[in-house]
Structure 1
Amino acid sequence: MYLLVMRHGEAGWHTVDQERELTEAGRNGSAMVARQIARSSWRPREIWCSPLVRARQTAAIASEILNCRVTEKLFLTPEDDPGLCLDALLEESSANRLMIVSHMPLVGALATLFVDGHRRGIPFMTSQAVVLDLPVVGPGCADLKAQFLP
């Protein structure tokens, strides 16, 4: 399985956290990264995203460029346990090229859980995406193959 993990684009601070929307820079950065992914060999077939506005907007931009469907997942909000995502991936046998669009600290925790087997998390810039090769879905089983920056 190839798993792309992407942080949402830059969002404004004009409202409560759950309703924050992408800024123009956030929309542009997300589109730039999605276009880089589209030109690569890592193109996903499906996107899972957080239900929060900024992640949904980022996923919609990526979906339009990458021509794949988006499914909201309630376990992809900023403070969720990355183990919930791991469990969902173990149940999803058909996902072999999947993108997850979420938030810090979850995206950092997911990447380190899959690559290093712990949940301390690495920082992600807004709109940054990484590609993980998961021959077996489990902690410490992934190799970092590529990263995309705005």
Structure 2
Amino acid sequence: MPVVYLVRHAHAVTEEENPLRPLSTRGHDECRRLVSFFKNNRALTPAEFWHSPLARARETAALLQPLAPHAALRETLGLLPEDRPEKMAARLATLASTQMLAIVGHEPHLSSLATLLVTGRSGLTAFDVEKGAILCLASEDKHTWSVRWHLAPSLLP
């Protein structure tokens, strides 16, 4: 069964601080705590990290990559905050049955995508993915997805 980890980028600096909005010190700390947590339990081991072209998503993916050192980092179209989730949902329907994929992106796209995958409907979102949080979804048939777990950095020491 394919597994998809929906990862919202970690905390970033404001646009006033830097228009490219790289990760802040807090964002780096969030990623460090996530890596420390998942290193021990191996619950996050994607074969690839797909990320948006924005600096904060690319940096988050790179900081999580030590969890799966052989996983490729791939800048991927369709992961910007304003992108419609249907296109990405269609791509996920083509995943191999054993594929494990991390998608590092933004709100409101990730919550909309998760809602579409789990409920089959778009519109009102059923999820709120906070910065640095990871929502793990799995599918038996690549069309119906269920939540395996959801972890936010605020839950970690």
* TM surpasses 0.5: yes
Q: Which residue of 2 aligns with 1:75?
A: 78
Instruction: Determine helix, strand or coil for the equivalent of 1:126.
Output: coil
- 4+ runs deviating over 6 angstroms: none
Q: Identify if the C-alpha distance between structure 1 residues 54 and 91 changes in structure 2 by more than 3 Å, giving closer, same or farther.
A: same
Is the radius of gyration larger for structure 1 or structure 2?
2
Give the TM-score, by structure 1 length: 0.88
Work out the percentage of aligned pairs sharing the same amino acid: 27
Instruction: Determine helix, strand or coil for the equivalent of 2:11.
Output: coil
Q: Which residue of 1 aligns with 2:22?
A: 21
Deviation (angstroms), 1:64: 2.6
5+ residue gaps, structure 2, are: none
Give the conservation status (yes or no) of the 8 Å contact 2:44–2:67: no
Deviation (angstroms), 1:33: 2.0
Deviation (angstroms), 1:128: 0.2
Query: Does 1:103 pair with 2:106?
Result: yes
For these two proteins, the number of residue pairs brought into alignment is 146
5+ residue gaps, structure 1, are: none
CA distance in 2, matches of 1:31, 1:117: 34
Name the aligned partner's letter for residue 27 of structure 1.
Answer: H
Q: Which residue of 2 aligns with 1:85?
A: 88
Q: Which residue of 1 aligns with 2:62?
A: 60
Instruction: Determine helix, strand or coil for the equivalent of 1:47.
Output: strand
Q: Give the alignment's Cα RMSD to 1 decimal.
A: 1.7
